[in-house]
Chains A and B, each alone.
Chain A
Amino acid sequence: MFDLVSFIPRAVVQSIPLLLGATGETLTEKSGNLNLGIPGIMYVGGISGVIGAFLYEQAAGGSLNPFLAVAIPTLACLLGSALMGLLYCFLTVTLRANQNVTGLAMTTFGVGFGNFFGGSLIKLTGSEVPSIALSATSGYFSAALPFADSLGWFGKIFLSYGFLAYVAIALALVCSYVLNHTRTGLHLRAVGENPATADAAGINIGRYKYAATVIGSMIAGLGGLYYVMDYACGVWSNDAFGDRGWLAIALVIFTIWRPNVGILSSILFGGLYILYLFVPTGMNLSVKELYKMLPYLVTIVVLVISSMRNKRENQPPESLGLAYFREDR
């Protein structure tokens, strides 16, 4: 029989990087910036956290301070992803460059950055460890809530995750609230829909685009951090993060730009992502490869279906992907 109690927690664990990436990208896209650099930013977020944790573990020797062990990688991750967000904004907002190309270049750069430092960190720092395995740091990131073990299936499904998972869900809810119920959210939506109008209303377009994109990048960067520190138990391996960044972007469309919808959708995606592990295929390993297609096929089907039923409220922000220049005429 299909084992839901072990399936759901694994799906959730898979979903968290997607959720963080999607929440960050939604926020970014609401400002009219289509950031295809998110996959790269998630790599940078992950590796920045790894570098922070690695340096701290090296410096602290055996005795880690739990607070610093969490704070240093987190701050490093936020800083790295924020810088990437700033770079994207500088190119697309200040210099009005093509967003698609800038995003792809950022992804090339970011993935390269992650793999480079992942592969060369030990050599660069002249340290003597054989590989980057930050199990001590990872222990703090993946510590489950209390009672997770004593509450049976309930504990397993709801309480067994590291703190970043709960942060991810909270961030999605907060983003959702901000976008729909606050002045800031209203202004941000106006910037993404119709920057000329927002500008004429006295909203500082550049500031909103920068803020949304940088914060969005930081949130997405946390996805990379969660992946390596919690999911991968602190072991960085090159290209292991894979295509999750692209799936996160797909998830944004899937959820029609709604972070709160993203919570359940990302778990669905996470489930599809690992379904092949739970489907009995016997000795036929090749079929598993076909099961791995599922998240992508489902995304395609959803894309097509949602484009077939064209509703006004379900459209992307109107000026998504376009640079804004006040004196354009």
Chain B
Amino acid sequence: MRKQTNAPLIQISKRKELPWYGPIAIRAAAIVLALVVCAVVTTALTGENPLAVYGTMWEGAFGTPRKIWILMQNIAILLCVSLAVTPAFIMRFWNIGGEGQILVGGLATAACMILLGDKLPNGVLIALMLLVSLAAGGLWGAIPAVCKARWNTNETLFTLMMNYVATQLVAFFVIVWEVPKGAGKIGIINQSTEAGWLPQIGSYKYLLNILIVAVLTAAMYIYLTRSKQGYEIAVVGQSQRTARYVGIKVGRVVVRTMILSGALCGLAGFLLVAGTDHTITTTIAGGRGFTAVMVSWLAGFNPINMIFTSFLLVFLDRGAGEIATDFGLNHSFGDILTGIILFFIIGSEFFIRYQLRLRKHAGKEG
């Protein structure tokens, strides 16, 4: 009964530390490979030559100054949401409720604009909008955090469900405030007075948004790496027992961090409503709450790296959108390309952490 079994053909073992360029090279190779696959897929669907496809994508992202501004604006908003969810992730709190937190932030902003647009001076109004949106997002983040802290309620599902509650809440108010009655949408708020609209800097419509997010990026980097609160977040994320052991109040850190996380998502909602769209819809967040999870993770939770990862995802989305328009295809094409790139990057992490070795003496076994 003793049968000869073969040794495993491929052996997997943990790597020693790679030199600093190792991970970069592996990730770059993954992205290149992914782009090749994307090109093949695109060519298969459109019949266009792959280089022309990338030309089109480049066009879509950088073709005109307007497109560049839109690209930058989209990067800014996505980056803002990614920065927002990051402290929670470092704490190992899987906040996939960014979507809902953006929505309530946007809703709060819109509410101020609609209800107080003609009652307050613009400066006061905008300050109030900012505060209220931060508070609304913070509250939306705090609710699952409190339950997590008290009863260890599963935060992934809780935050997810909060997204839909927020969506319905927005849907409710959209009908309450719809203009005109029966339209099912609000339309541009305060179009004539521009009350509550974020001011333009010079002739650059989105510059203020971009500057705000740039400052936020630097601030978040410093907060996470240098501040006492950032250190507490890291300890709680690594080990709650260690945190308790050194007297960190875990529940308090969880709630505090989620308020921060939610408030910054609320800020993204504020920027979207007051700075960009000047209206509120149920889809204003556009899936950024989910995309941000990937942006943040791909960047290794490092705010500076997130500039690049959010650029990558937004570029893909804009570029693929251009392809779709050019060839009369559906705009979800971007999601497919994004998915393919993500799969490659996710898979490449394996080669950073592990090494493969082919079996020695392969000839010996029968």
Q: How far is the CA of A170 from the CA of B156 in the complex (A)?
A: 30
Question: Closest Cβ of chain A: how far from B346's Cβ, in Å?
Answer: 5
Tell me which of A109, A118, A123, A307 contacts B335 (CB under 8 A): A109
Question: Closest Cβ of chain A: how far from B323's Cβ, in Å?
Answer: 11
Residue of chain B at shortest CB distance from A327: B13
Q: Is there a chain A Cβ closer than 8 Å to B343's Cβ?
A: yes
* B332 engages A249 (CB within 8 Å): no
Q: Provide the residues of chain B in CB contact with A308, threshold 8 Å.
A: 151
Q: Is there a chain B Cβ closer than 8 Å to A56's Cβ?
A: no
* B297 engages A101 (CB within 8 Å): yes
Question: Closest Cβ of chain A: how far from B133's Cβ, in Å?
Answer: 21
Tell me which of A109, A118, A300 contacts B336 (CB under 8 A): A109
Question: Closest Cβ of chain A: how far from B11's Cβ, in Å?
Answer: 9
Q: Encode contact with B along A91-123: 1 for CB under 8 Å, 0 otherwise.
A: 100011110111011111111111111111001
Interface hit among A1-9, A196-204, A224-232, A282-290: A282-290
Residue of chain B at shortest CB distance from A292: B168
Q: Provide the residues of chain B in CB contact with A287, threshold 8 Å.
A: 172
Residue of chain A at shortest CB distance from B342: A105
Q: Is there a chain A Cβ closer than 8 Å to B45's Cβ?
A: yes
Interface hit among B191-199, B228-236, B288-296: B288-296
Tell me which of B13, B96, B347 contacts A104 (CB under 8 A): B96
Chain A contacts with B in 303-329, Cβ cutoff 8 A: 303-304, 307-308, 310, 325, 327-328
Tell me which of B14, B153, B333 contacts A304 (CB under 8 A): B153
Q: Is there a chain B Cβ closer than 8 Å to A265's Cβ?
A: no
Supplied contacts A286-B172, A308-B151, 13 more A-B pairs, CB within 8 Å: A98-B346, A106-B339, A111-B332, A113-B332, A116-B329, A116-B330, A116-B336, A120-B330, A286-B176, A293-B165, A293-B168, A303-B153, A307-B154
Q: How far is the CA of A124 from the CA of B45 in the complex (A)?
A: 7
Q: Is there a chain B Cβ closer than 8 Å to A299's Cβ?
A: yes
Tell me which of A109, A120, A310 contacts B338 (CB under 8 A): A109
Interface residues of chain A: helix, strand, loop or mixed (majority): helix
Q: Taking beta carbons and an 8 Å cutoff, which residues of A are in contact with B? A: 36, 87, 90-91, 95-98, 100-102, 104-120, 123-124, 238, 243, 246, 249-250, 253, 285-287, 289-290, 292-293, 296-297, 299-300, 303-304, 307-308, 310, 325, 327-328
* A113 engages B328 (CB within 8 Å): no
Tell me which of B160, B171, B335, B347 contacts A246 (CB under 8 A): B160
* A108 engages B342 (CB within 8 Å): yes
Q: Encode contact with A along B96-139: 1 for CB under 8 Å, 0 otherwise.
A: 10000000000000000000000000000000000000000000
Residue in A115, A299, A303 with the greatest tally of chain B CB atoms within 10 Å = A303
**3 pairs of A and B residues whose beta carbons are closest in the complex:** A112-B335, A109-B339, A119-B330
Tell me which of B151, B168, B175, B329 contacts A119 (CB under 8 A): B329
Residue of chain A at shortest CB distance from B100: A296
